[in-house]
Amino acid sequence: MNQLDQLKQSTIVVADTGDFQAIRAYAPQDATTNPSLILKAVQKDAYKPILARTVQANRGASADDIIDRLLIAFGREILDIVPGRVSTEVDARLSFDTEGSVARARKLIAMYEAEGVKRERVLIKIASTWEGIRAAEILQRDGIRCNMTLLFSLVQAAACAEARAQLISPFVGRIYDWFKKSAGANWDEAANAGANDPGVRSVAAIYRYYKHFGHDTEVMGASFRSTGQILALAGCDLLTISPDLLEQLQQAEGNAPRQLDPEAARHATIERVATDEPSFRYQLNDDAMATEKLAEGIRLFAADAAKLEGLIAALR
Beta bridge partners of 149: 127
Contact residues for 45 (Cβ-Cβ < 8 A; gap 6+): none
Is 29 in contact with 277 (CB distance < 8 Å)? no
Please state, in angstroms and rounded to a whole number, the distance separating the CA atoms of residues 20 and 8. 20
Is 255 in contact with 246 (CB distance < 8 Å)? no
- Long-range Cβ contact pairs of 98-105 (< 8 A, separation 24 or more): 98/131, 98/132, 98/134, 98/135, 98/138, 99/135, 101/126, 101/131, 101/132, 101/135, 102/135, 102/138, 102/139, 104/68, 105/135, 105/139, 105/144, 105/146
Please state, in angstroms and rounded to a whole number, the distance separating the CA atoms of residues 15 and 78. 10
Is 123 in contact with 109 (CB distance < 8 Å)? no
Residue 125 annotated to the active site: yes
Is 94 in contact with 100 (CB distance < 8 Å)? yes
Beta bridge partners of 170: 151
CB atoms within 10 A of CB 60: 7
Is 119 in contact with 144 (CB distance < 8 Å)? yes
Catalytic residue among 44, 48, 125, 211: 125
What residues are labeled active site?
Answer: 125
